Structure 1
């Protein structure tokens, strides 16, 4: 198949999933064309099976804001014609589905170009915050030739919000060969020069991720006289506030902000625990990647996280904002290395048994084939 994939190129779950999906499709003999405003995250190598087409923005004085949706649709038409794409797979309904549906209609007289939309969560929460988006989002869902969601939670939320139920749940995935715990003594020594325990947080530092809660947790764990450091991986709008909070709590010297990293697996491999105190997660990709690296997860009980993290088996869950319990959970696991290691082993087992690429990628391919033959969702 020749598949066009559009994602936000930012440091977030949907961009990661879209990039990894394209790479896995290419490994299985398909040709993938990424159509985006910039090279998607995790897409570090292009070859005869993986191509990138940059959306070029038009600069015209009439427009106060550049019309990205139209520019994207134009590029989709151009690539679909030139590369004879079999389908377009867009991640996020707004604005990507709008562009893909427009491109499909432009080409309708010449050929069929199915559009598949994958929901990642903000599609739904955006409508929750601004109901004016509801009609256009519902239109995108109804006009897509196939719709997938990354969790059962997100499917239920979509049905509740839009009354739309033609959705196939295909969860996020992880490559067990790439995401496995390996020794990185130099990195470990750099991050924990005195042999401290390492708490790791990975996100795009948006408010919904509540990264400041990680600093609150660290401060409480340090009060228990444990040698521990916090490693914050990623960047975003909340970073400055989190750094300020660390200084205010007097724990800045125990925090390391490493920014965006191309190899998250290296940092997860040296982690003792992952902190995921998000206000909302439709799935929790960071949790899955940590589990594959045998890292127990301390997380909020929200959204689709309980589908991924099994309470008491692969991690410990708390109410959103309950930093006291998250801190106590972290202390309990750090003081019991045998329990922590057993939990880590069970975490990897669950990650591979339910979410490995060998299980999930064939489901995407089967869904593509169903849509191409007119089955849809």
Structure 2
């Protein structure tokens, strides 16, 4: 198949999943065309069957804000026509699915692709729920050939919020368990031998509650000797730095910024700590579990479908610092508990989130929408 993909080319879970899916599909012989504002974060090397197309930003005095959605739609239409794209996969309803619909309408009828839209959470819970975008978000989904979501929780939330005419299918995120696995790392470059490593990975948006990470970690230090590695960057980084200064733990925190090969860093952690307000899935949680690292997270959104409380990690209420400290100390002070949780975590990943099966589920969706399109065209002729 010839498949187009549009996603956020950033370190967020949606862009990472879209990129990994494209790479996996290319490995199965499909021709994949990415159309994004910049090359996707994890697409940093040549691979056969992968092509990237960059959307040109138009800066013109008439426009106070560059009309990115129109530029994106034009580029999708151009790439689809030139390369005979059969399926376009939009990750995010707004703006990506809406732009793809506009692009499809620009094409001659015989060139129009099938649109599959995958929801990752923010496009529904924050952007789509805003009155300014609700109608556009619903339009994007209702006019897609198929809509999927990355967790059962997100599928249910979408159907409840938007009252769609057909159900949203759940297809979980996945990872490559050969890349994400326990392996030797240069731990000495990250912390002293006598320090446990607590790791937080995010784009530092407010929903990630990075100040909760710092506050809970400062109290864990009263019971265990540890170092906090903050991986990623974003608007709340300065807030985290400020809270660390107030609590006097600045010297126990290292800010690593964005790391491309996170699979080479995760195995060094003794605990991955993700106290988000909500997560539609929890890709970082899955990556940590694949590396046999216990996870401390919040029981919100789709995370409860990934992390099993008391088995592969611990889940706390949002903002429940006391519980986070208690469970964090339990893991950091008991190597036997941590090792057992880590082992069960990887077993959970291999059993429920295997790459080959989940990529196959997406292929089945593509084949289904193409079959229905052929049947519809046959009836019309």
> Contact between 1:126 and 1:133, CA under 8 Å: does it hold in 2?
no
SS in structure 2 of the partner of residue 132 of structure 1: coil
CA displacement at 1:108 relative to structure 2:
4.2
> Contact between 1:298 and 1:317, CA under 8 Å: does it hold in 2?
yes
Give 1:180's aligned residue: 181
CA displacement at 1:48 relative to structure 2:
3.4
Find the aligned partners of 1:15 and 1:109 in 2 and give their Cα distance: 30
> Contact between 1:275 and 1:297, CA under 8 Å: does it hold in 2?
yes
CA displacement at 1:198 relative to structure 2:
0.4
> Contact between 2:4 and 2:32, CA under 8 Å: does it hold in 1?
yes
Deviations 1:76-101 (A, max 9, x none): 11111111111110100000011100
Deviations 1:337-373 (A, max 9, x none): 1111011000000011111211211111111101111
Give 2:249's aligned residue: 251
Deviations 1:289-330 (A, max 9, x none): 000000111000100000000111111010000111111101
The runs of at least 4 aligned residues of structure 1 exceeding 6 Å deviation read: none
Alignment of 1:204-353 (within 5 A): 204-224=203-223, 226-353=224-351
Give 2:7's aligned residue: 7
Find the aligned partners of 1:104 and 1:34 in 2 and give their Cα distance: 16
Give 1:168's aligned residue: 169
Give 1:28's aligned residue: 28
Find the aligned partners of 1:229 and 1:282 in 2 and give their Cα distance: 28
Find the aligned partners of 1:87 and 1:287 in 2 and give their Cα distance: 30
Q: TM-score, normalised by structure 2?
A: 0.96
CA displacement at 1:253 relative to structure 2:
0.6
Unaligned runs of 5+ in 2: 375-381
> Contact between 2:26 and 2:48, CA under 8 Å: does it hold in 1?
no
Find the aligned partners of 2:7 and 2:240 in 1 and give their Cα distance: 28
Deviations 1:118-154 (A, max 9, x none): 0000121225752231111111110011100000000
CA displacement at 1:61 relative to structure 2:
1.6
Give 2:123's aligned residue: 123
SS in structure 1 of the partner of residue 228 of structure 2: strand
Matched, 1:79 2:82: no
Find the aligned partners of 1:362 and 1:375 in 2 and give their Cα distance: 20
> Contact between 1:214 and 1:277, CA under 8 Å: does it hold in 2?
yes
Unaligned runs of 5+ in 1: none
Find the aligned partners of 2:181 and 2:297 in 1 and give their Cα distance: 21
SS in structure 2 of the partner of residue 131 of structure 1: coil
Find the aligned partners of 1:310 and 1:363 in 2 and give their Cα distance: 24
> Contact between 1:10 and 1:40, CA under 8 Å: does it hold in 2?
yes
Q: TM-score, normalised by structure 1?
A: 0.97
Find the aligned partners of 1:365 and 1:133 in 2 and give their Cα distance: 30
SS in structure 2 of the partner of residue 298 of structure 1: strand
Alignment of 1:356-371 (within 5 A): 356-371=354-369
> Contact between 1:216 and 1:323, CA under 8 Å: does it hold in 2?
yes
Q: Once superposed, what is the RMSD of the aligned Cα atoms?
A: 1.3
> Contact between 2:81 and 2:111, CA under 8 Å: does it hold in 1?
no
Find the aligned partners of 1:282 and 1:214 in 2 and give their Cα distance: 19
Check 1:181–1:118 CA distance in 2 against 1; reply closer, same or farther (3 A cut).
same
> Contact between 1:189 and 1:195, CA under 8 Å: does it hold in 2?
no
Deviations 1:152-191 (A, max 9, x none): 000010011001243111010011100001111x2x1011
- Counting matched residue pairs gives 373
Find the aligned partners of 1:90 and 1:279 in 2 and give their Cα distance: 25
> Contact between 1:46 and 1:52, CA under 8 Å: does it hold in 2?
no
SS in structure 1 of the partner of residue 372 of structure 2: coil
> Contact between 1:11 and 1:41, CA under 8 Å: does it hold in 2?
yes
SS in structure 1 of the partner of residue 109 of structure 2: coil
Find the aligned partners of 1:242 and 1:166 in 2 and give their Cα distance: 40
Equivalent of 2:353 in 348, 352, 355: 355
